[in-house]
Amino acid sequence: MSTIVGDWKKFICRACGVIYDEEFGDPDSGIAPGTRFDDIPDDWECPLCGVTKEDFALYEPGSATAVAPGEAPAVVPQKTGVVVVGGGTAGWTAVEALRALDADVPITMVTACEGDRYRKPELSIALSQGKSPELLVSERGRDCARRLKVRLLSNTYAVGLSPALHQLRTTAGTLHYTRLVLAQGARPAMPDALPPNLCWRINDLAMWSGVQRALAPRPARIAIVGAGLVGCELAEDFARSGHSITVLDVNERPLAALLPEQASQRVLESWANQGIRFMAARSVVSVTLADESVGAERIVQTQHGEALHVDLVLCATGLGTQSYLARVGGLEFKRGIAVNPLTLQTSAPDVYALGDCISIGGEPCRFIEPIAGQAEAIAHSSLGRDHAGYHHQPPVLRVKTRSLPIVMRGAPSRELAWEIVEHDEHQLSMAQYRNGNLVASLDVGQRKARLAA
């Protein structure tokens, strides 16, 4: 094993954004500090989402990290420059990419939250790991702003946009920009039958913290509405934390939009082993309080007249991008802010967008992996630097269910049939082919080699 000190490299998990830093290793998985990435055993898994070494890529954050903490004032007075809307992964990654290219360009970040940095994918596995909100934050927004010489307007909403005047209206006043980067993410889509005051959603740290507090006193009965990626991950995480889980979905099976039937069947078997109950083909028609007392039971009513009495209802029915800002700014919007697939420029001059809020060819792609490439393209394009542009690739898709890891690679098509490549009681491998060429692959469960290890 090589132990040369210094010149440590970092590697990023393309599935969830975790960074393996050679200097610090991964002691929780038995990888000592100072272990070179090449020396990590091949069966090592991403500590967050469980993908293997081959899903990690070299991570070079650029000169952004060279700005020492405390070197710059938190507030940099400025009239123009780049304004970034949103302090999530996309917003901060764009800031880092801009700073790496230009140490001096004035940058202002406008964000509705504190701007604290955390890995959102961790929210669906953090409860059973006993994490606290403080542990999930990797860097406070104000510290990151100081490090990257950014004027941070936290708890501030962007509420209006005039591309013609290069003006962004915010709840803290109107800002002028030379370039605008929109990274305001997407919001949970709440069906009408689920009143927001009675149903939790988990799409940011504040929401997760609320759920964590609500579940802290005792084991609870939880109804999760929606058996998509987030619903499935939360079901397992909450069940592992000792709660009693019922998942309801309008489809006949979990992950119906993503997986072939045989794979969903494996999910159901795994849920049965964990005591997670699935109610298929159910529409929730109402959620009401059993009485007026604080913390009263919720009654979830289905279209068949069933009534579930639970302590907490969690809505996991997907995300939608808010169109308001795009609409007032006259930006093209197709299930997300429409962007040029190479430059990430919107239909308005000098306005770019990335992350969960965009769509490419009318398709949103709400994953961590594409964000770094999008930020690079925006930084180069907006600063007038040469760049090959962004090339969209379907990200590796990982369902972070530890009892039944699921990994999908490639670009599956609804028109193509899934063929079984290999299967036994522990694992199912499937693939889609077009004209004999592999289009997508799917692995459900543990490979025998890993089980034995």
Residue ranges that bind ligand FAD, judged by CB under 6 A:
15-16, 49, 85-91, 110-113, 120-121, 123-124, 157-158, 183-185, 202-203, 230, 355-356, 366-369, 398, 400
Closer residue to ligand FAD (CB): 310 or 325: 325
- How far apart are CB 237 and ligand FAD at their closest, in Å? 9
Two structure tokens written together for 448: 């025998």
Closer residue to ligand FAD (CB): 49 or 440: 49
- How far apart are CB 81 and ligand FAD at their closest, in Å? 17
- How far apart are CB 34 and ligand FAD at their closest, in Å? 28
Closer residue to ligand FAD (CB): 10 or 366: 366
The HSE-up count of residue 385 (CA atoms within 13 Å, CB side) is 12
Closer residue to ligand FAD (CB): 91 or 329: 91
- How far apart are CB 267 and ligand FAD at their closest, in Å? 16
- How far apart are CB 222 and ligand FAD at their closest, in Å? 15
Closer residue to ligand FAD (CB): 121 or 445: 121
Closer residue to ligand FAD (CB): 25 or 87: 87
Closer residue to ligand FAD (CB): 81 or 185: 185
Closer residue to ligand FAD (CB): 126 or 308: 126
Closer residue to ligand FAD (CB): 169 or 423: 169
- How far apart are CB 28 and ligand FAD at their closest, in Å? 18
Q: What is the 3-state secondary structure (H, E, C) of the chain?
A: CCCCCCCCCEEEECCCCCEEECCCCEHHHCECCCCCHHHCCCCCECCCCCCEHHHEEEECCHHHHHCCCCCCCCCCCCCCCEEEECCCHHHHHHHHHHHHHCCCCCEEEECCCCCCEECHHHHHCCCCCCCCHHHHEEECHHHHHHHCCEEEECCCCEEEEECCCCEEEECCEEEECCEEEECCCCEECCCCCCCCCCEECCCCHHHHHHHHHHHCCCCCEEEEECCCHHHHHHHHHHHHCCCEEEEECCCCCCCCCCCCHHHHHHHHHHHHHHCCEEECCCCEEEEEECCCCCCCCEEEEECCCCEEEECEEEECCCEECCCHHHHHHCCCECCCEECCCCCCECCCCCEEECHHHEEECCECCCCCHHHHHHHHHHHHHHCCCCCCCCCCCCCCEEECCCCCCEEEEECCCCCCCCEEEEECCCEEEEEEEECCEEEEEEEEECCHHHHHC
- How far apart are CB 398 and ligand FAD at their closest, in Å? 6
- How far apart are CB 234 and ligand FAD at their closest, in Å? 7
The answer to whether 12 touches 372, Cβ cutoff 8 Å, is: yes
- How far apart are CB 438 and ligand FAD at their closest, in Å? 22
